[in-house]
Amino acid sequence: MQYAIELYFDKATEQNLSHLAQRVADENISTMLLKWETRPHLTLACFNDVNETACIEQLRLFAQTHKTMLANICSVGMFTDSRTIFASPVMNDSMYQFQKELYEYLGEYDSSGWEWYQPNKWVPHCTLALTHEDPDEAFYKASNLILHEFRKLYGKFVSIGLVKISCPVEEIYTVELQR
């Protein structure tokens, strides 16, 4: 089973990002992201397998020593090879260090095949549309809609969680960061 560690937003920011993903579905452009039933997040790390009990305890301890961070989401981007459209937070030292420390803290788990989530390769992003299974025009229509409706968001990252990568995503554990 494959797992991910996700970084979650405050409720208001989460609702704004969810609204954009819902708009893509409401316009009958693509519903793939909604099928995953995942809330808006940044994926911090992916692993091929974890000891769930141990990982939950590791996340609990990690969260006790890490504070909430500002989430300034100021741009839209895309991965053209997977036809993924996303909102992108401004990368800062806090985010970089947080992801690096988490990755090192969970270094016992196998991350082979997930190189794009490793420190110095990580592209922090919050997916708004997955169109790789849709007709080609869905990617362009979704991009157009999101580009027209996206507005800068200023929120916070408030919690981290462990999920099983499945469709739908299975949230196993979430813990609040320190305030």
Q: pLDDT band for 39, please (50, 70, 90 cuts).
A: very high
> Residue 71 corresponds to which tokens in the numbers above?
């989430």
By the 8 A CB rule, do 110 and 50 touch?
Answer: no
153: amino acid identity, one letter: L
pLDDT tens digits along 138-157: 999 999 999 999 999 999 99
Q: In the chain, where are the structural domains located?
A: 3-176
pLDDT of 17 over the 90 cut: yes
- Angle (CA) 88-90-93 rounded to 5° is 135
> Residue 103 corresponds to which tokens in the numbers above?
């990755």
- The pLDDT score that the predictor gives to residue 40 is 98
Burial label, 132 (beta-carbon count in 10 A; 0-12, 13-18, 19+):
middle
Q: Which CATH architecture has domain 3-176?
A: Alpha-Beta Complex (3.90)
CA-to-CA dists, residue 65 to 43, 88, 116, angstroms: 20, 25, 25
Antiparallel, parallel or unpaired: β 3-9 and 84-89: unpaired
pLDDT tens digits along 62-93: 999 999 999 999 999 999 999 999 999 999 99
- The pLDDT score that the predictor gives to residue 115 is 83
- Look at residues 7, 47, 2 and name the one whose alpha carbon lies nearest to residue 169: 2
Q: pLDDT band for 113, please (50, 70, 90 cuts).
A: confident
168: amino acid identity, one letter: P
